[in-house]
Structure formats: structure tokens, C-alpha cells
Amino acid sequence: MKTPILLAFSAFALSACAGLSGPSAEEIARLPVVRYGQAAPADENFVLLYPAGANLPVNAKVVGNVFEKGDEATLYVRLKQDIYTYRDQISFDGKTWSTGHGKVGGKVWLALPGDKEGKRDAQSPGELGAEFNLK
């Protein structure tokens, strides 16, 4: 059975207190920009750049005491365009900022082995999935 769940991907939609305004574009512009894979400043106050075309690793893992053997794999995804993030803010040019949840949405799902698109077929592989889309 597939169960869609709203995705909270820390890069794009970090949680924030409702009603609080985020930092201004001028405040964010004063922060250092760190490309994914580079060392971050010690104070953790920086803009993170996910560059277009770069291989971004995503670890997938299935473990637990119900399994005799769990497994994991690293998937590599590439963005079509640069994405800058700062706290719950996102930018596609490093200058104009919006809340992440207002610009990127998604879902995650799980299907057990033997289930495909909500129907039992006793043959399909299990599936862990995630989908991200611009709004």
C-alpha cells in the first residue's frame, strides 16, 4: 500500500515558527555561501548552495530487527538549477528569497514487496520513493 506523506526535506522546507518573518535579502547577502561538499563555517550561519549538475548523494536504508539482513544504497541526484538555502528560505538566484515550502513541494511513499500501486500482486519489489517539484 502506498501512503503519501508530506515531505519535510531539510534542504528545501525547514520548519519555522508561524508568524515570524524571516531574515531580509540584505541580511542573507552578508552571509558566506558554501557549496555542498565544502567545509561549513564553525558558527553554522551560512547559505548552502546546491549547484546545478552536481551529483548530490542521498542515502536509502532499510533496517530493523524484523530483517535477517537489511540493506542500504547511495543514490545520486542532480538538480536542474542552482538552489540556495538558508534556514527555511530558498532562492534560485542567490538574491530573491522565499520560504522553502512555498516554492518546493513533495511527497514520500512506501510500498511493501508484493504491493504495486495499492494492489497486491505478490511479485513486485518494495519501493521507497520521494518526489520533489517546484510550485
Which pLDDT score, from 0 to 100, does residue 22 have? 80
Which pLDDT score, from 0 to 100, does residue 99 have? 94
User: 101-104, long-range: CB within 8 Å, 24+ apart, which pairs?
Assistant: 101/12, 101/13, 102/135, 103/12, 103/134, 103/135, 104/9, 104/12, 104/13, 104/132, 104/133, 104/134, 104/135
Domain assignment of residue 59, given as a range:
5-134
75 neighbors 55 (Cβ within 8 angstroms) = no
3-state secondary structure of 102: helix
Which pLDDT score, from 0 to 100, does residue 3 have? 32
Q: Which of 14, 34, 9 is nearest to 99 (CA)?
A: 14
pLDDT tens across the length of the chain (135 residues): 333 333 333 333 344 343 456 899 999 999 999 999 999 999 989 999 999 999 999 999 999 999 999 999 999 999 999 999 999 999 999 999 999 999 999 999 999 999 998 899 999 999 999 999 999
Strand partners, 85: 48, 90
The whole-model pTM stands at 0.78
The domain tally of the chain equals 1
